[in-house]
Amino acid sequence: MDNPGFTERVFSGIQPSGNLTLGNYLGAVKRFVEMQDDGIETVYCMVDLHAITVWQDPAELSRNTRELAAGFMACGLDPDRSILFNQSQVSAHAELGWIFNCVARLGWMNRMTQFKDRAGRNAERMSLGLYAYPSLMAADILVYHATHVPVGEDQKQHVELSRDIAAKFNHDFGVTFFPEPVPVIEGSATRIMSLRDGTKKMSKSDPSDMSRINLTDDADTISRKIRKARTDALPLPDSTDGLDGRPEAGNLVRIFAALGDMSESGVLEQFGGQPFSKFKPALAEIAVSTLKPISAEMRRLTGDPGEIDAILGRGADRAAAIANPILDQTFEILGTVRSRFRER
């Protein structure tokens, strides 16, 4: 067991910064739903404070937050069984985030590859928040004493940083207060790639909409994007070894496997030796049949924004009931005077 003495709890988050993609669905939300049904407490968050580390139009931010909430529920997250809320409604995240800014070392932050990828040569013009982002992410997880964090491959380094922050805090203050959360990265869909370039991650921020499948895409759009997806000229191989050096083929096979809940070799047993002109229509069919009910349910749910807001409000109350006592204890460990909060 990774964290003896700590009750198992799952936390994960997604930014409300645009469309939910097939990568988010297969790499994260589908796993969130499986874990909801595992009998452990599950806390899932729309991380709006993370989204604003880059510019967000205010009207779009609220629309995207409600749409993400609708996406969570349409994929099978149940607000009675999981805690669903948006981050900014629980102030403990930002407060613990600041404390962690004082625990994390600059050297650790400088090693975060996602910041380097996103900032590129423009680092000087990025917000301070974008740089400090992984320390807020550690606070998101640790303010619930969460032990398990389902994420895609690209978030592994950030979850590892939250282990380092927890360990340093515990060490500095001579306590065993924070667990060291483990990233849960399993299955064939931990890194779904762009449909235009098999070496680049499928991302909601890619300028080309053809590079990704959005959960809100209609059947025709999904089929067209898969038909136009970049491939090579060879037929599909008979075994997974034959996918080496063929990033686009490997990506489409992994997407099929994840959508069909089967192994990659199972997909190749069925399609090995066949050309993409046969495989792509089958892939489009399974993608449409999975995503169509989700997008229909999202449309229904976003039709009642008042109900979504009520659900997020209730989720935030439940989240705060866990987070506030943990934050209070953290301040007590730090030695700050909390005379206003004794009754909380």
Q: How many residues bind ligand TYM (CB under 6 A)?
A: 26
Give me the 4-23 binding string for ligand TYM, x by CB under 6 A, dash otherwise.
-------xxxxx-------x
Number of H-type helices and E-type strands within the chain: 14, 5
Query: Which region among 185-193, 218-226, 243-251, 291-299 touches ligand TYM (by CB under 6 A)?
Result: 185-193
Tokens (6 digits) for 215: 């959960």
Query: Which region among 100-108, 133-141, 163-171, 318-326 touches ligand TYM (by CB under 6 A)?
Result: 133-141
Strands (E) across 15-115 are located at 41-46, 82-86
If one counts every other C-beta atom within 10 angstroms of the C-beta of residue 230, the result is 16
Distance CA 248, CA 131 (A): 32
For the chain, the 3-state helix, strand and coil shares in percent, each to the nearest 5, are 60, 10, 35
Burial 136-156 (b: 16+ CB within 10 A, else e): bbbbbbbbbbbbbbbbbebbe
Distance CA 203, CA 188 (A): 17
Q: Which is nearer to ligand TYM, 28 or 320 (CB)?
A: 28
Q: Which helix (H) or strand (E) holds 86?
A: strand 82-86
Among 52, 143, 151, 301, binds ligand TYM (CB under 6 A): 151
Q: Which is nearer to ligand TYM, 191 or 314 (CB)?
A: 191
Contact in structure between 18 and 155 (CB atoms under 8 Å):
no
Question: Counting contacts by CB under 6 A, is residue 27 touching ligand TYM?
Answer: yes
Nearest residue to ligand TYM on Cβ basis: 27
Give me the 190-229 binding string for ligand TYM, x by CB under 6 A, dash otherwise.
xxx--------xx---------------------------
**Closest distance between ligand TYM and the C-beta of residue 71, in Å?**
11
**32-61: which residues touch ligand TYM (CB under 6 A)?**
47, 50
Q: Which residues bind to ligand TYM, rule: CB under 6 A?
A: 11-15, 23-24, 27-28, 47, 50, 137, 140-141, 149, 151-152, 154-155, 158, 189-192, 201-202
